[in-house]
Amino acid sequence: MTKSDREIMEILEAHDLTRTFWSAAEPARCDPKTVQRYVYARDVGRNPFERAPRPKLIDPFLEKIEEWADQPKAKIRADLAHDRLPAMGFTGRARSTPRAVNVAKTVWWAGKRRTYRPWIPSLNLPE
């Protein structure tokens, strides 16, 4: 269960007052390990209100997927990409490949968007 912003602030304030995880857990109405997690996140410089991204099995292969998306103008299909990945050492499921291909395509298309200039009507009116 995730904590709300208000609960996280109460946890951090309780720790600042007591300086121990165990003593801060009681007024914050949570486990001392929860206090420890939020305090360490704050001390390391991470935002305690955001979750840290979890590593995925496909992370080492994202660069290759982005390369495939760049070659044929983002026309790579996820099922074909997944057929190529096990030969490179990918042991993940077929469900994670379409997500990675979708992100690679979205990034590629974001960099290739057509820019439109605003239409300015001419003011040469007939007299």
DSSP state letters, 41-103: HHHHT--TTSPPPPP-TTGGGHHHHHHHHHTTTS---HHHHHHHGGGGT--S-TTHHHHHHHH
Please check whether residue 90 lies inside any domain of the structure: yes
Q: Is there a single domain that holds both residue 70 and residue 102?
A: yes
Mean pLDDT confidence for 46-59: 84
Where does the pLDDT of residue 2 fall: very low under 50, low under 70, confident under 90, or very high at 90 and above? confident
- Phi and psi, residue 80, nearest 5°: -70, -35
pLDDT higher than 90, residue 73? no
> Does residue 64 sit in the same domain as residue 88?
yes
What's the domain range around 98?
A: 59-111
Judge if 106 and 66 occupy the same domain.
yes
- How many domains in the chain? 2
Residues in the chain: 127
Average pLDDT over residues 26-52: 89
Say if residue 39 is in the same domain as residue 65: no
pTM as predicted: 0.56
What span, in angstroms and rounded, lies between the C-alpha atoms of 65 and 90?
Answer: 12
Model confidence at 25: pLDDT above 90: yes
Residues 40 and 70 in one domain: no
Q: With contact defined as beta carbons under 8 Å apart, do 62 and 104 qualify?
A: yes
Q: Is residue 117 part of a domain?
A: no
| Domain presence at residue 52 | no
